[in-house]
Structure 1
């Protein structure tokens, strides 16, 4: 129980303050234990951080798979556009997503390789989840087949990257503008209409 509570509190601190701005003392105080008690469960801040990181990346993939499962009846246009909107809402409401994005763009220098391994594995898995959706859209003649499912998915991931950047840097108005413009051009190029 205490180990999970430490990870929950650490997630909030890492999401808000980053690795460098988070202290084990502050985490322990919020949990209601002494700093030394953290070492009963973790060797140190790096191990705690990496466990939280692993959990967060698993949760982000669960969000994507749950979204895919629960929106399977949407048209491909609505499905993809709504996904962008859902992710922007998720960023506002969810420490997992805040942490995920913060660490994807600003990993601790000494853990860079380990963090980026998680980032690229997660993005690759996300992309792989969207390829069958594009293949289905091509089969159903909803998307221009000459583009190809993998290229269409890679371009969508590029839009998602731009949305992630605006989530971190731009604020809500810039985010809406980025989603609207990027989506419009993407869909115009992708659709058969």
Structure 2
């Protein structure tokens, strides 16, 4: 592992667990086993390090979501969507990158709010397009009540955001309870009754 990647890994863990303000460059350097000025050989500032790690986390999460949707594209989409929500809740508990991404998406550092939103908004637009394209497949399109794949995708993202916010603010059990309550209602709203 290179020194730069070690700095990124430690920064990710500290940003995820302590937040941007509490994760000082001094703490990061100490955990890596280097002196604080050594960080500046790789990153211009704490903000630069944060944005670099944030972009990496977004790319990784985008790849994970794409892989999940591609691997499950021939299953009923409600099963795929439910398993994706559960996967993200699992990852929030077990994966620092997901915890970091979710925490900083909801609570970005005030000094970096605009930059974080400039990265998140295209991410959500890409997620909406990806989900819409899945729902537009004939296998799924014929099962939608309105036939409007984009509306069904956007509604799912809204459900997912609520569940993930619950996971961040409270506990996995409460988030699971919310998912179990809202997901059948989502399905009744978008699926044709047969």
TM-score range, shorter chain: over 0.9
What does residue 173 of structure 2 align with? 173
- Secondary structure of the residue aligned to 1:40 is coil
What does residue 86 of structure 2 align with? 85
What does residue 61 of structure 1 align with? 62
Name whichever of 96-105 and 73-82 sits farther off.
73-82
Q: Separation in 1 of the partners of 2:63 and 2:110?
A: 27
Q: Separation in 1 of the partners of 2:7 and 2:61?
A: 20
Structure 2's unaligned 5+ residue stretches are: none
What does residue 192 of structure 1 align with? 192
Q: How does 1:102-141 map to 2 (within 5 A)?
A: 102-136=103-137, 141=142
TM-score (norm: length of structure 1): 0.95
Contact 1:15 1:95 in 2 (8 A): yes
- Secondary structure of the residue aligned to 1:89 is helix
- Residue 137 of structure 1: how far off its partner (Å): 5.5
What does residue 49 of structure 2 align with? 48
Coordinate RMSD, CA, aligned: 1.3
Q: How does 1:23-38 map to 2 (within 5 A)?
A: 23-38=24-39
Structure 1's unaligned 5+ residue stretches are: none
Q: Separation in 1 of the partners of 2:183 and 2:161?
A: 13
For 1:119-178, what per-residue CA distance to the aligned partner results, in whole angstroms no more than 9, with x for missing partners? 11111111111001111267652221x251111111001001101111111202211111
For 1:53-82, what per-residue CA distance to the aligned partner results, in whole angstroms no more than 9, with x for missing partners? 111111110111111122223211211111
TM-score (norm: length of structure 2): 0.94
Q: Separation in 1 of the partners of 2:140 and 2:148?
A: 11
Q: Separation in 2 of the partners of 1:139 and 1:19?
A: 42
Contact 1:6 1:28 in 2 (8 A): yes
Alignment length, in residue pairs? 192
Q: Separation in 2 of the partners of 1:126 and 1:166?
A: 20
What does residue 40 of structure 2 align with? 39
